[in-house]
Structure 1
Amino acid sequence: MGEPEVRAQLIEAAYAVVERTGALDLTMRDLLCEAGLSNQAFYRHFRSKDDLFIAMLDDGRRRMAGHLRRRMSGAATPAAAVRSWVEGVLGQAGDPLAAARTRPFLTHVDRLAARFPEEQRASERTMLEPLVAALRGADDGGPRSGAEQRGDIERDARTVYLLTVAALHQHLRDGTRPGRADTDHLTAFVLNGLRGTGDRSPDTSR
């Protein structure tokens, strides 16, 4: 087995333990038993458990970014692409596997971001990129009419990201699933903000 495969095996083993225990305080014994690997194998790839945790966050976000890109690829309009992004992110709360893998990180994500700021920014960018592309592709009929005059696309995308992830985290903490009304409300709020109008009936067609 090559070194990339060993690293991936350790990450998958950590996910399995987190899913089973519902916590991020996994022991090295549990992790290595799950992975079927040695201490030496672990320390060849990670300096500490926090190093493993930030790698798991990055892995999860990269998988999510791929999922978002696939969802958004079928969108007929920029507004529909933005809606698809919001739905895809919120959908993690309704997916039992994604929720089980994500929920334990809620109380640790700020600490990990402070300790690994560059890694945190890089993994967030993977989720932002498809949203930025959708906003850049919007024409005058899309959600960002007059956007060049109103501000920076990447800053707008980050604002949408922060708002949507905050909503996701609330659902994960509460153990709730976002319904259609939740998604419609958040998408309307986002699209109206991007338009810079008070219109409460945006085109949120898929």
Structure 2
Amino acid sequence: MSSKAILPGEPDPGGTDTAETIAQQTLAKRGAQYANEVRRLLDAGLDVMRRCGTRSSPRVSDIVAAAGLSNDAFYRHFASKDALVAAIIEDGAARLSGYLHHQMAKASTPEMSVRRWVEGVMSQAADDDIAATTRAVLWNGGRISDRLGSSRPSHAASLAILLREPLAQLGSADPETAATLVAHAAVGVLSDFLWQGVQPTRAEIDHIVEFCLAAVTPRSVTTEQPEPGQASAR
């Protein structure tokens, strides 16, 4: 049986392309490097933002210095400082969602799961350092929306997703809508605590939990339909 010799530069049809393998390895290394740079910029940006508080907006030069990176590294990942601030807000929301999910997983009942969710959200105002950081993030987020002419960023929707399952287990006829309403109400109350510089009391947290549980409309309760020709009440 004759065999055909594989010439240099000619890919082996039955094997792995060495060039492709090396290219993928290079991309993987570069991807890991870039991910590390982004994480350092996010953490440094949050740290500088915390130190600036609500007095001033962090500068790119301060952020890259704190991250130990260059301006080139910054603009490789973010088109502007506003883009970094938006990413910090998104990263913070993801971290909070992860924390809430972890706390809710410890609950043995849907009622306790809702309580864990409320306590986790309100924990952003229960500690002075965390409250100061969250307040600075919200302040910078508001400045972004003012410059761009957009609405202030709100992550109530992402937090609401965590409430759908326990509210459904409690018999909600529309857990998605109920979770959204509850989340927006809770985030609004949290915002009040943050800007007033006060910590929620145990009684206040209990009241918020009661409100959340009261938002559950049993499946057996149906909405009365308007008669023909009548507009539905809004």
- Normalized against structure 1, the TM-score is what? 0.80
The CA deviation at 1:112 is 4.6
Residues 61 and 124 in structure 1, CA contact (< 8 A), matched pair in contact too:
no
| Secondary structure at 2:215 match in 1 | helix
**Quick one: which amino acid aligns to residue 157 of structure 1?**
A
Deviates more, 1:23-32 or 1:68-77: 23-32
The CA deviation at 1:71 is 0.8
Residues 37 and 73 in structure 2, CA contact (< 8 A), matched pair in contact too:
yes
Deviations, residues 90-149 of structure 1 (Å, cap 9, x unaligned)? 1110123422221013344456569598xx68x65542222122223x1xxx3xx3x22x
Matched, 1:100 2:132: yes
Structure number having the greater helix percentage: 1
Q: How far apart, in 1, do the equivalents of 2:70 and 2:132 lie?
A: 26
Q: How far apart, in 1, do the equivalents of 2:117 and 2:149 lie?
A: 26
Larger Rg computed on CA atoms: 2
Aligned partner of 1:64 among 96, 100, 106: 96
Q: For structure 1, list consecutive stretches of 5 or more residues without a partner in the other structure.
A: 197-206
Name the % identity. Answer: 35
- Normalized against structure 2, the TM-score is what? 0.71
Specify the alignment match of 1:6 in structure 2. Answer: 37
Alpha-carbon distance change, 47 to 60 in structure 1, aligned in 2, over 3 angstroms: same
Q: Note the aligned Cα RMSD (angstroms).
A: 2.3
Equivalence map 1:104-123=2 (5 Å): 104-109=136-141, 112=144
Q: How far apart, in 2, do the equivalents of 1:14 and 1:173 lie?
A: 21
Equivalence map 1:1-206=2 (5 Å): 2-23=33-54, 25-109=57-141, 112=144, 124-136=156-168, 138=169, 142=170, 145=171, 147-148=172-173, 152-195=174-217
Specify the alignment match of 2:226 in structure 1. Answer: none
Q: How far apart, in 2, do the equivalents of 1:65 and 1:53 lie?
A: 18
Alpha-carbon distance change, 112 to 129 in structure 1, aligned in 2, over 3 angstroms: farther
The CA deviation at 1:33 is 1.2
Structure number with higher relative contact order (C-alpha < 8 Å, ≥ 6 residues apart): 1
Q: How far apart, in 2, do the equivalents of 1:97 and 1:59 lie?
A: 18
Q: How far apart, in 2, do the equivalents of 1:58 and 1:19 lie?
A: 16
Q: For structure 2, list consecutive stretches of 5 or more residues without a partner in the other structure.
A: 1-31, 219-234
**Structure 1 runs of 4+ with >4 Å offset:** 110-117
Q: How far apart, in 2, do the equivalents of 1:67 and 1:192 lie?
A: 24
Q: How far apart, in 2, do the equivalents of 1:176 and 1:9 lie?
A: 31
Number of equivalent positions: 183
Q: How far apart, in 1, do the equivalents of 2:102 and 2:144 lie?
A: 28
Q: How far apart, in 2, do the equivalents of 1:56 and 1:96 lie?
A: 20
Q: How far apart, in 2, do the equivalents of 1:164 and 1:113 lie?
A: 22
